[in-house]
């Protein structure tokens, strides 16, 4: 995997960590509908970036990226399912 792909994967990893924090905040009982919508919009954006990155990679690079940040993506998808509907 080349340096550019590693950089993009690292940036996505950081974005996924930040997103998990945003979703946790949106899951609070006192979260507003706007906060929930913002968390969902951020999730849509980050997950779209992840999919776009995977679509541009060779199978070997795709596998490596999935191994490095795939669990974080799965965590986000799980957290999203716990967000209340706004």
Are 66 and 21 spatial neighbours (Cβ–Cβ below 8 Å)?
no
Which residue carries 């490095």 as its tokens?
68
Quick one: CA torsion of 58, 12, 76, 30, rounded to 10 degrees? -160
What pLDDT was estimated at residue 85?
A: 80
What pTM, to 2 d.p., does this model score? 0.91
Res. 84: pLDDT tops 90? no
How many whole angstroms separate alpha carbon 32 and alpha carbon 28? 9
What angle in degrees, to the nearest 10, is found between the helix axes of 59-82 and 33-56? 170
């Amino acid at each position: 995997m080349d340096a550019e792909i590693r950089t993009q994967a690292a940036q996505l990893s950081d974005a996924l960590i930040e997103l998990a924090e945003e979703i946790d905040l949106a899951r609070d009982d006192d979260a507003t509908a706007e906060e929930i919508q913002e968390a969902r919009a951020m999730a849509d954006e980050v997950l779209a970036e992840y999919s776009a990155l995977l679509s541009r990679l060779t199978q070997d690079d795709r596998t490596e990226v999935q191994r490095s940040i795939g669990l974080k993506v799965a965590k986000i998808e799980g957290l999203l399912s716990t967000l209340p509907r706004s």
